[in-house]
Amino acid sequence: MFSKALRLAVLLHFVLTQIVLASPASAASSSIPPLEVWRSDGCLNDPNDARQLSFRAQPSMINEDGMTIEVCRAFCQSNKFKYAGVEFARECWCENKIRDPRSEAPAGACSMACTGDSKKTCGGANAIEIQHRVL
């Protein structure tokens, strides 16, 4: 025979499960994408002959006139890349590893305003701001 406390715990679990399953919030939450967390890897030197991230989103793939790190991250993530980087105000670069993560650019090298939001920076000439997906 089950104890009174165990029967009460089972009943409570059943009731709470039914409430959660019946609530509109649980139905809506199934369409919400998982939380994505990105962290900065800083501003790195990015010479033309040795790119930090090798895949460039071409203008036919992404709106370079609306570039921000958030736009670039979304593009890279949708194409299954771990790293996203912005450079020269409008370029978006992606990859699953950084070529040389110790190649820090000089202070101020990543100071070009993004074409999509002039309050944000999007790298510089031969300098790329890189972020990586944590979750």
Residue 131, exposed/middle/buried by CB under 10 A (0-12, 13-18, 19+)? buried
- β-strands 55-56, 127-133 pairing: unpaired
Question: What share of the chain in percent tops pLDDT 90?
Answer: 73
pLDDT, tens only, 103-132:
999 999 999 999 999 999 999 999 999 999
- Using alpha carbons only, give the angle 101, 58, 74 rounded to the nearest 5 degrees: 65
Poorest-pLDDT segment among 6-10, 35-39, 66-70, 91-95: 6-10
Residue 50, exposed/middle/buried by CB under 10 A (0-12, 13-18, 19+)? exposed
Query: How far is it, in rounded angstroms, from Cα 72 to Cα 115?
Result: 12
pLDDT score of 5: 53
11 and 74 fall within a common domain: no
17 and 80 fall within a common domain: no
Count: domains in the chain:
2
52 and 103 fall within a common domain: yes
The range of the structural domain enclosing residue 74 comes to 38-133
Q: Which amino acid is at 21?
A: L
46 and 91 fall within a common domain: yes
pLDDT, tens only, 81-109:
999 999 999 999 999 999 999 999 999 99
11 and 62 fall within a common domain: no
28 and 42 fall within a common domain: no
